[in-house]
């Protein structure tokens, strides 16, 4: 089906590299599903990124044999590079991609793209981490995937649940705005796109999916995870430096960031700070016992307090004082380190005092004294965080609402029924 640029609603990309064994089967299966289940104009774009086997020839043959299939060939490798090329060149209202192994059940495609075609969301992603998702994969990949997404949410302060599921869709105008800002051309492409989108206040729709791991996948999960960690550091630095102008993107797209929640009352701040303090104190005690096995007591105290202070500052910034965004993140962490210095003075002073009184104090006694001193330091930290670090902090002022409005993030998929839009397909293999 060769839809005209004025009527093409959905363009589904299939990025491939050396997939001669599975390409034809997967594309024919995808083509059959779209023909039977999607009642709007669509096409399939095979994005071959520098394959060295027969993938390019198979792609060209499929484009000749199947209506609504085209093949694009790139001279360089990289899934991100391939998606940038075909998405930016596409005339479709919504651009999407699926992994060539079709690990994700295709029945999730209609609820993935429906909120984008209706204008209710900007980006849609499949998630394997929702309660209603059905996932079949090995324990190792499950652990790595969940660990990576947990780290991503904590380190980057994002809310989307599954960054790397190969099942995503984007409205065309959003893709044209964001893709030039995405530097990664490989596997981190998805994560970088989503981080920039959420930090820009765009609406991300999540669809629980059924997903079966491909045991023959060539992806090196460990190496990819390492590259992704480096990518997170780079993206955070780009956002903080203004290289990625998230504050301007939503204005240009006619969107606005989500409204901030009502700041908690003083009592609410005390409760939240207390809960975080309990966790921090327990973490401090555990880390101290571990570090004390290989370092002197004072150094063990310093390291344990440093690690827990960084986590404590992040948690209080996010949950106790409800500060979001990245503009002041580094400043707050630096101020938190000043508070850390004072807290370290309290705890190290208590340890020095104990050693002056009892030079042969046991590790358990040292821990007890340090735990008590750490509680005092925690109280000092609350006072300083409230009256100095986070005093008067609020979210950035929201931009004016667009006429289309902003809907809350959707976490559950609409019913998986075929998409119904009034667009007609062209006569070349079209279905009316």
Q: pLDDT tens, 118-165?
A: 999 999 999 998 888 888 877 777 777 788 788 788 777 788 989 889
Overall domain count for the chain = 2
For residues 111 and 57, membership in a common domain is answered with yes
Higher-pLDDT residue of 91 and 275 is: 91
Higher-pLDDT residue of 180 and 212 is: 180
Mean pLDDT of 389-402: 49
All residues at 6 or more sequence positions from 264 whose CB lies less than 8 Å from its CB, including other chains: 272, 320, 322
How does pLDDT run across 102-118, given as a tens digit for each residue? 999 999 999 999 999 99
- Take residue 401 and report the two structure tokens written for it: 């609402």
- Under the banding of pLDDT at 50, 70 and 90, the label for residue 415 is very low
Indicate whether 138 belongs to any domain.
yes
CA distance 200 to 245: 8
Buried b (16+ CB within 10 A) or exposed e, 304-322: bbeebbebbbbbbbeebbb
For residues 189 and 303, membership in a common domain is answered with no
What's the pLDDT score for residue 432? Answer: 31
What's the pLDDT score for residue 430? Answer: 37
For residues 167 and 128, membership in a common domain is answered with yes
Is 233 a residue whose pLDDT tops 70? yes
Is 413 a residue whose pLDDT tops 80? no
Measuring CA to CA, which residue among 294, 384, 393 is closest to residue 341? 384
Higher-pLDDT residue of 415 and 343 is: 343
Higher-pLDDT residue of 382 and 403 is: 382
Indicate whether 383 belongs to any domain.
yes
How does pLDDT run across 37-61, given as a tens digit for each residue? 999 999 999 999 999 999 999 999 9
Is 17 a residue whose pLDDT tops 90? yes
What's the pLDDT score for residue 242? Answer: 82
CA distance 244 to 156: 14
What's the pLDDT score for residue 8? Answer: 95
For residues 320 and 196, membership in a common domain is answered with no
For residues 161 and 85, membership in a common domain is answered with yes
CATH number of the structural domain spanning residue 44:
3.90.550.10
Q: How many CA atoms lie within 13 A of 159 on its CB side?
A: 18
What's the pLDDT score for residue 342? Answer: 84
Indicate whether 260 belongs to any domain.
no
Domain of residue 343, residue span: 266-389
Q: Name the range with the highest mean pLDDT among 186-195, 221-230, 382-391.
A: 186-195
How does pLDDT run across 311-331, given as a tens digit for each residue? 888 888 878 887 766 667 777
Is 255 a residue whose pLDDT tops 80? no
For residues 202 and 285, membership in a common domain is answered with no
What's the pLDDT score for residue 22? Answer: 93
What's the pLDDT score for residue 412? Answer: 37
What's the pLDDT score for residue 214? Answer: 67
Indicate whether 62 belongs to any domain.
yes
Is 219 a residue whose pLDDT tops 80? no
Indicate whether 398 belongs to any domain.
no
Q: How many CB atoms lie within 10 A of CB 244?
A: 24
Indicate whether 123 belongs to any domain.
yes
CA distance 188 to 228: 6
Higher-pLDDT residue of 272 and 63 is: 63
For residues 280 and 353, membership in a common domain is answered with yes
Report the mean per-residue pLDDT for the chain. 81
For residues 288 and 219, membership in a common domain is answered with no
Q: Name the range with the highest mean pLDDT among 46-55, 280-289, 333-342.
A: 46-55
Is 261 a residue whose pLDDT tops 60? no
- Under the banding of pLDDT at 50, 70 and 90, the label for residue 414 is very low
- Quick one: which H or E segment has residue 127? strand 123-127
CA distance 426 to 1: 7
Q: Under a CB-based contact definition with an 8 Å cutoff, are residues 68 and 54 in contact?
A: no
All residues at 6 or more sequence positions from 267 whose CB lies less than 8 Å from its CB, including other chains: none
Domain boundary among 351, 372, 389: 389
> Percent of the chain, pLDDT > 90?
37
For residues 83 and 123, membership in a common domain is answered with yes
Domain boundary among 226, 252, 278: 252
Indicate whether 422 belongs to any domain.
no
Mean pLDDT of 402-421: 38
Is 397 a residue whose pLDDT tops 60? no
For residues 213 and 289, membership in a common domain is answered with no
For residues 385 and 332, membership in a common domain is answered with yes
Indicate whether 228 belongs to any domain.
yes
Domain boundary among 217, 252, 287: 252
What's the pLDDT score for residue 325? Answer: 62
For residues 246 and 273, membership in a common domain is answered with no
Is 3 a residue whose pLDDT tops 60? no
Which residues are known catalytic residues?
Answer: 190
């Amino acid at each position: 089906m060769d839809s005209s640029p004025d009527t093409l609603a959905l363009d589904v990309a299939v990025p491939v590299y050396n997939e001669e064994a599975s390409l034809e089967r997967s594309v024919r299966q995808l083509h059959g599903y779209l023909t039977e289940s999607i009642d709007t104009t669509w096409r399939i774009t095979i994005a071959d990124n520098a394959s060295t086997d027969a993938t390019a020839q198979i792609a060209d043959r499929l484009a000749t044999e199947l209506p609504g299939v085209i093949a694009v060939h790139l001279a360089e490798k990289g899934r991100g590079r391939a998606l940038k090329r075909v998405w930016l060149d596409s005339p479709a209202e919504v651009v999407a991609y699926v992994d060539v192994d079709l690990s994700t059940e295709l029945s999730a495609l209609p609820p993935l793209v429906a909120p984008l075609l209706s204008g209710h969301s900007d980006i849609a992603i499949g998630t394997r981490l929702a309660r209603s998702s059905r996932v079949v994969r090995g324990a190792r990949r499950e652990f790595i995937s969940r660990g990576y997404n947990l780290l991503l949410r904590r380190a980057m302060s994002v809310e989307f649940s599954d960054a790397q599921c190969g099942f995503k869709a984007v409205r065309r105008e959003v893709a044209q705005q964001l893709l030039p800002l995405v530097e990664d051309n490989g596997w981190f492409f998805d994560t970088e796109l989503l981080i920039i989108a959420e930090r820009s206040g765009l609406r991300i729709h999540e669809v629980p999916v059924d997903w079966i791991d491909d045991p023959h996948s060539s992806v090196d999960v460990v190496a990819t995870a390492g590259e992704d960690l480096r990518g997170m550091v780079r993206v955070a630095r780009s956002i903080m430096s203004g290289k990625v102008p998230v504050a301007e993107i939503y204005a240009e797209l006619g969107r606005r960031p989500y409204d901030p929640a009502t700041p908690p009352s003083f009592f609410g701040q005390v409760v939240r700070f207390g809960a975080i303090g309990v966790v921090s104190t327990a973490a401090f005690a555990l880390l101290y016992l571990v570090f004390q096995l290989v370092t002197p007591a004072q150094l063990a105290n310093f390291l344990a307090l440093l690690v827990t202070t960084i986590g404590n500052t992040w948690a209080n910034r996010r949950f106790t004082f409800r500060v979001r965004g990245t503009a002041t993140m580094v400043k707050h962490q630096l101020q938190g380190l000043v508070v850390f210095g004072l807290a370290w003075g309290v705890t190290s002073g208590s340890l020095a005092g104990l050693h002056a009184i009892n030079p042969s104090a046991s590790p358990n006694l040292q821990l007890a004294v340090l735990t008590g001193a750490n509680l005092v330091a925690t109280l000092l930290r609350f006072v300083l965080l409230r009256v100095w670090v986070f005093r008067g902090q609020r979210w950035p002022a929201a931009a004016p609402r667009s006429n289309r409005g902003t809907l809350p993030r959707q976490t559950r998929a609409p019913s998986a029924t075929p998409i119904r839009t009034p667009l007609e397909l062209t006569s070349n293999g079209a279905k009316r």
